[in-house]
Structure formats: C-alpha cells, structure tokens
Amino acid sequence: MKTLGYYNGSIAELDCLTIPVLDRACYFGDGVYDVTYSRNYRVFAIQEHLLRLFQSADIVGIRPRISPKELSMLICSLLRRMHTGENRIYIQFSRGTGARNHIFPQNSSPNLLIMMEPATLRDPYKSMKCITRPDTRFYHCNVKSLNLLPNVLASEAAARSGADECILLRGEIVTECAHSNLFLFKSGRMLTHPADEQIYAGTGRAHLMNLCRTVGIPVEEQYFSIAELKKADEVLVTSASVLCAPVTELNGVSIGKKAQETVRALQDALLKQFYDATNL
C-alpha cells in the first residue's frame, strides 16, 4: 500500500478510509496521539512512544481496549503492508463514538486510528529559523492531546514569516515550540524547561538529555527567559521528526553558532542511535 489507514479493524488507503462523524475526535478533539518513524520496516523507539501515548490516555481518562504490547504488534504487522519501509506512523485514541455531549459517553469504547505514509526524518544538520509568539495553550500541555489549534496557529505564523518553527512564550519565559521541544546550551550546560503541565516532554527531548548525561554535559531542567535564549551559545530543537537541529535565526536576528562542534557531535550520536535501532 502507498498509504495506510486503520480504524477499529478497517484498513484502507488514507484517502479511502471512513470515520464516523460522531467520533468524539471530530467535534471535541477528545483524544490523544503520538507520532514516530520507521526505517527498513523497523519502528523507531516504539515502546517509548507507546508509553507516552498510554500515559496521555490515562491522564484524560481514556481506557484503550488494547495493551501496549498488542498495539506494538499491530503496528508492526500493518507496517509490512506498506510499499516502503520509511514511513511516518501516527497513532490516535479517541474517547469513543456518540451523540455530541460534553459528558463522557457511558457505553462507548475508545476508537483506534493508525495512519502510515511515506516519510523520512528532517535533515538534523539543517539549521532552523524561528519566530516567537505568546503561548496561548491550555495548561494541559503534558497531554499529547488532539486539541492543537494554538499550535496550528503558531505554526502557520511561522510558515507565513518564512520560519521553520515558532517558539512559545509565557510572559518572558520560554516553554517550547509549536511542535517540538527546545534546549539552550550555554557555558557547557544544557538547559530545558521543566517537564510540567506547560510542555509536552517528547521522546526526542529524552534522547538528547540522556545523551548529554552520557557524554558529561550537565543537563538542568529550569526556566529560562527569551533574553537568555538570545544570548545562548546554541539553541536546539528536538522532536520525533527532527532529532536535534540548531536554531540560528530568531525573529530575523542571528543567534547561536558558538558551539558548533559540540552540536555536531550530539547530532552525529543521535542519528547513529536512530540508524542502529532501524538497521536490518
């Protein structure tokens, strides 16, 4: 298959898959999701992504009728149907199907949607341009929710400005980006926003933090301001699709580029982790 859509047991190309209008994902965004990538028909960090998916589901009271192990097996089975081994894999639980009502449906099981389409990681060595915008999201950012309108608006603002990402601010404090986590590297230390309700702590964030600790770079989860970000030796973006990319322009002004050898070494190591995990 060129693309694949799975919905509660039904399988079709994405442009042919049908979903009930009364799925609560359609009118409330009442669900959670996660995204990862495959290479050589091997899914990268699948257990980590499923752990986060089920954690998000638990926080909002969605109780999937499938276990993480069963879902992992299903994803790997579906992946074999694809005509290429390099794909983006999207996994979603919604609360269920029923008449529109803010109260949870009493007799409805969660719906499972899986989407696969050919895709590769963004080149991590390609630097990024960013803009800043106020962080107007709800205080449930630790949940990978389907409610992404503020993220969509921030991403569109970045695209219209010719930028790659939008860095979000609560007052003067930097939280994260519209669809990625953010790090500040200064004087040999790596800083990132604490994993609280104001950010979603992604797998890419965890991988970079673990790598830094392994190679002896101190990592601190602490708040930092936009003023501190502008003076950083390096600013790094992490996500499932980027791994680790440097930000070299912020609101049209050059930033970072003061520890490029360190950044390159981290990028090389993270890319090696991806290749090692997805080699045949």
Which tokens sit at 82?
A: 């694809």
As given in the structure block, the two tokens for residue 14 are 């994405």
Say whether both 149 and 111 belong to one domain: no
Length of the chain: 280
Phi, psi of 250 (to 5 degrees): -130, 120
Q: Residue 20: what residue type?
A: P
Same domain? For 165 and 100 the reply is no
The CB density around residue 43, as the number of other CB atoms within 10 Å, is 20
pLDDT of residue 149: 97
pLDDT at 107: 86
What phi and psi, each to the nearest 5 degrees, are found at residue 36?
Answer: -145, -175
Q: How many domains does the chain have?
A: 2
Reported pTM = 0.96
Last residue of a domain, one of 91, 118, 145: 118
Spatial separation of the C-alpha atoms in residues 208 and 267, rounded to whole Å: 9
Task: For residue 179, give the CATH number of its domain.
Answer: 3.20.10.10
For residues 57 and 144, membership in a common domain is answered with no
In this structure, are residues 30 and 94 in contact, taking their beta carbons and an 8 Å threshold? yes
pLDDT computed for residue 134 by the predictor: 98
Q: Tell me the DSSP string of 214-246.
A: HHT--EEE---BHHHHHT-SEEEEE-TTTSSEE
Active site residues: 144
Q: How is residue 49 annotated by DSSP?
A: H
Neighbours of 218 (CB within 10 A): 11
pLDDT value of position 238: 99
Task: Quote the domain boundaries for residue 137.
Answer: 128-278
Give a yes or no: residue 209 inside a domain.
yes
**Amino acid sitting at position 171:** G
| Residues 104 and 235 grouped into a single domain | no
123 within a domain of the structure (yes/no): no
Same-domain check for residues 23 and 41: yes
**Which CATH number fits the domain that encloses residue 105?**
3.30.470.10
Spell out where 155-229 has E strands.
Answer: 165-170, 173-177, 181-186, 189-192, 219-221
Q: pLDDT tens digits for the chain (280 residues)?
A: 999 999 999 999 999 999 999 999 999 999 999 999 999 999 999 999 999 999 999 999 999 999 999 999 999 999 999 999 999 999 999 999 999 999 999 888 999 999 999 999 999 999 999 999 999 998 899 999 999 999 999 999 999 999 999 999 999 999 999 999 999 999 999 999 999 999 999 999 999 999 999 999 999 999 999 999 999 999 999 999 999 999 999 999 999 999 999 999 999 999 999 999 999 9
Q: Largest Cα–Cα distance in the chain? A: 58
Same structural domain, 148 and 250:
yes
Residue 172 has phi, psi (to 5 degrees) of -100, -5
- What distance in Å separates the CA atoms of residue 201 and residue 141, rounded to the nearest whole number? 9
Same domain, yes or no: 208 and 267? yes
- Quick check: 248 and 233 in contact, CB under 8 A? no
CB 254 within 8 A of CB 15: no
At residue 49, φ and ψ (nearest 5 deg) are -65, -40
12 belongs to a structural domain:
yes
